[in-house]
Chain A
Amino acid sequence: MSEIEARDYAHPEALVSTDWVAAHQDDPTVRIVESNEDPLLYPSGHIPGAVEVDWTRDLNHPVRRDYLDREGFEALMRRLGATAETTIVFYGDKNNWWATYAFWVFQLFGHRRARIMDGGRLKWQKEGRSLVREVPTPTPSDYRAAQRDDVHERAFRDQVLGHLEAGRRLIDVRSPAEFTGERLHMDDYPNEGALRGGHIPGAANIPWARAVDTADGTFKSAADLRAIYEAEKGFAPADDVIVYCRIGERSSHTWFVLKYLLGYPAVRNYDGSWTEWGNLVGVPIEKGT
């Protein structure tokens, strides 16, 4: 039994280890993809053979606040040389925060052959594995994508409003200071800010990083995750859950944890998150703990 299997996840196949990636660096059916918050990291050194998916350049719509459309996703996958049979393995900085974000966007287009490298870039580096600056140029593929499906993995503001009015569960994965409304955004940087502070009424505050073992950046075991989400916060696998943060990236990490590691079937990420909710006119807001 592998170390990942021993953690008793609902879908252990969603994770691969650094050893697995090292053994599949030259596997033509695998495409290793680095996704970071820091745009300098990939070009300064990455896993040999890895390509980059940049959250601002590659995943977002160039004009609207939205994600790329089917044509954009096809163009991205063709550039990566990926086919429908290619297993995409994401890894990145910040304990895979941006890797899970890219993973989530890929699920909107139904690319199920997707994995996360447990521990992310930091674990790979700490293990002394090689990083290179050579950028691969994959042979473009003829990838054909499905239309983006925003129903199953994504939530919009009106759905969130209906969700809370129906008394269903929400998780706010931001820091406690953001949750209580004490902090909106940094002075001089209102681009990701909001006019009002606080949280969506009834949301439980479970900062995303609690799911990570700080020693090596890997995900905590299913038992440890259940202790947080279920024993401590009262969630159950049958719950219909919406997760959110400030712009939907940190919450994609918790979406991954609930859906793949704990096996919750109904989890959606509200990517409008606090930058939308905190600016909306007339929606309910709760302050404090």
Chain B
Amino acid sequence: MSPATRLPAKLARLVDALALMPDRQERIETLIRIADRFRPVPPELAQRPYPEENKAPACESEAYAWALPQPDGTLRFYFAVENPQGVSAKAMAVILDETLSGAPVEEVARVPLSLANEIFGSELSMGKSMGLSGMVALVAAAARRQAAENQFSGEDSGSG
């Protein structure tokens, strides 16, 4: 079983597609095209200076993440990347938004930190791994909180 099969469906498909790419250059070009789709968090949701609690730990690209609860109990993710050199962080932000927004929060909560290496390749430096994994950690933590909230709301309404 591929590790990607344990991921939320959209993310698993992307990880599988990247794994099938025959060379590193093709993967890099794909990730750059993904990064080109990056749109920062809208100002009605967050304004500079962004709160420290939204900052991805160990990310030198100064990435921030926000998780907005949706009526169906899922989350919609938004990101800001303050370092103009943060191309990889932008690619990761787009991937996390496009594959995890709207996904079951229990699955998002289980996304492993090793996702960064699965997406960017094993030659990723430790520093880069730490920064990109910090973004994953932030998203997974928000999903864990939302899953607990959903459970509490369900129990609360059930005990009616």
Contacts and interface: CB of A to CB of B under 8 A. Distances in A.
Contact of B32 (A43, A93, A191): A43
Range class of the B interface residue count: 20 to 34
A39 B35 CA distance: 13
Contacts of B84: 122, 125-126
B143 interface: no
A189 B126 contact: yes
Interface string A23-63: 00000000000000111110110000000000011000000
B85 A125 contact: yes
A166 interface: no
Contacts of B112: 188
B24 interface: yes
B32 A40 contact: yes
Contact of B31 (A40, A57, A246): A40
Nearest to B130: A186
A121 interface: yes
A38 B88 contact: yes
A contact face: mostly helix, strand, loop, or mixed: helix
Nearest to B117: A189
Contacts of A188: 112-114, 133
A38 B87 contact: yes
A92 B157 CA distance: 56
Interface in B115-159: 117, 120-130, 133
Contacts of B124: 39
A187 B85 contact: no
Nearest to B36: A44
Interface residues of A, number: 23
Interface string B82-96: 001101100100000
B85 A121 contact: yes
A187 B58 CA distance: 13
B140 to A, nearest CB: 13
B52 interface: no
B85 A41 contact: yes
B41 interface: no
A185 interface: yes
A40 B87 contact: yes
B128 A189 contact: no
B88 A40 contact: yes
Given A189-B126, A192-B126, 6 more contacts: A38-B87, A39-B24, A43-B28, A94-B127, A122-B85, A189-B133
Interface of A: 37-41, 43-44, 56-57, 93-94, 121-122, 125-126, 185-189, 191-192, 246
Interface of B: 24, 28-29, 31-32, 35, 58, 60, 84-85, 87-88, 91, 112-114, 117, 120-130, 133
